[in-house]
Structure 1
């Protein structure tokens, strides 16, 4: 496996791995690390890219045009080696093209590019999915970055909040046996604000299919704030393992298969389908304040 690529500017240094084009580190110039470090005692991920599905499939398989294919949770991109195509002081772009292994799980010609770029104290991660095939191509896509909770320099006594810029109170759903239970539950947000508590995650992820908007903040009482923006990613999930020192802020376009609905890829909630030659862009950014 190739070495990480380092991009930096006067505010931030960011490491990106060719494996999965995954963000591996986000460090301020004062030495504070904002991203989760992948401690295997809890979870080895840091910021995986989810493609061509988000979440699980029944029995770890999907069907495409009636044919069955093996598909692990969150797809294969996160465990695939990307090719570095562009690299500059403050940006880099990795690309994944089909291989014999990907075609065994996902029989399409595609291109997936992931670009990391710095501007001031903001990191922007952009993805472009292109259909290089001669038929329609269904897929799901998402980002899964994990940030330190509590934030660097703070302790567990500091209350952390998620605040939606639109001040909404979106309905929540949960997973059942790893698949979506579509039953809407009462929103844990009040006027767009959620005080994080590990007890929320005893039942796995908190999923908000719609209504969370495209901007939110993760902030600490008497501490710093992280300001997020999302592009073309209508679904939001929050997740951690109970007691683990990280919180995942996950914007998606696509979700796990609904419980009892079968393995068809095109039937998964929020699946995107590209016509031959078409492409779609997705992105998230985080601005560090404090």
Structure 2
């Protein structure tokens, strides 16, 4: 359907191809649903009693800040975990049968904590059985602009048709990236042995008792999430562009797994509020922009 909700009170747009159906909300430019054509839902439904997120966009920080405060050259203020974009209404600037584009720019609500002009454009597009999500961040001001950008999609775990079956995450590069953990929401510099063996991880809920598993480097540019012994279950094939950090997260006991590609991470334990000092932060000069993209193909 072309631009469902474009002219009415419903702030959700539906896009679809012959292999995938996606809905995206104006609130946070957040995907609300990811379905196969036969109606199998793959995205967590956002039960607020468990976790209200579904696929939030993380900007201008990823993760937590010390005392929930950030700064740019000493100026700033309070900022909640993962930044403000996920909590704001974007402008829907284009809606087509297979693509919807949203935009967020600086305003009075952002200036106190983040004193920089910016433009964040998010595009969701479908083709065949593939969804691609692209974010472009532009510095529209006259000063240097530090930021982080991340994606936080939550997929059903178990996958439909794979209830009771072991699941698997397989890195395309076959690597065994070192594991980092959070301490009170901040990144610990300690590196732990990789839970991957030959690029493969069998996720278990106990792995998330200590919060997210974070892989600051080495996870590569793609992975697969599947249930190898469930012949009727879909498999999800991911690619990442300009997103060198990876996190995996489950809220304890919840039936979803977040597969999160980032550029930038939580502030280091013991660090100050400056966004530019966060691991993986990017700084754009006036007039510059940066592009980030993840995709998932349903198999």
TM-score class, shorter: over 0.9
Distance in 1 (CA, whole Å) between partners of 2:79 and 2:252 is 27
- Who is 2:224 aligned against? 217
In the alignment, structure 1 residue 197 sits paired with structure 2 residue 204: yes
Would you say the 8 A contact 2:59–2:84 is kept in 1?
A: yes
- Who is 1:174 aligned against? 181
- Who is 1:112 aligned against? 120
In the alignment, structure 1 residue 88 sits paired with structure 2 residue 93: no
Would you say the 8 A contact 2:186–2:267 is kept in 1?
A: yes
Would you say the 8 A contact 1:11–1:121 is kept in 2?
A: yes
2:16 is matched with which residue: 8, 33, 36?
Answer: 8
Would you say the 8 A contact 1:235–1:254 is kept in 2?
A: yes
Distance in 2 (CA, whole Å) between partners of 1:20 and 1:210 is 27
Runs of 4+ in 1 over 6 A off after TM superposition: none
Give the number of the structure whose residues are more often strand, by fraction: 1
1:185 is matched with which residue: 170, 189, 192?
Answer: 192
Distance in 2 (CA, whole Å) between partners of 1:239 and 1:217 is 16
Would you say the 8 A contact 1:2–1:18 is kept in 2?
A: no
Normalising by structure 1, report the TM-score.
0.98
Which segments of 5 or more consecutive residues in structure 1 lack a partner in the other structure?
none
Spell out the pairing of 1:95-174 with structure 2 (5 A cutoff).
95-155=103-163, 157-174=164-181
In the alignment, structure 1 residue 65 sits paired with structure 2 residue 73: yes
**More deviation, 272-281/146-155:** 146-155
Say if 1:150 and 1:203 are closer, same or farther in 2 by CA, change over 3 A: same
| 1:170-228 deviations in Å (ceiling 9; x for gaps) | 00000001100110000000000000100000000000000000100001132321000
CA-atom RMSD in angstroms: 0.9
Would you say the 8 A contact 2:76–2:115 is kept in 1?
A: no
Secondary structure of residue in 2 paired with 1:203: coil
Aligned residues: 288
Normalising by structure 2, report the TM-score.
0.95
- Who is 2:3 aligned against? none
| 1:58-114 deviations in Å (ceiling 9; x for gaps) | 111012111231111000000111001111100010000111001122111110000
* Structure 1 residue 144, shift from structure 2 partner: 0.1
Distance in 1 (CA, whole Å) between partners of 2:226 and 2:84 is 32
* Structure 1 residue 2, shift from structure 2 partner: 4.7
- Who is 1:208 aligned against? 215
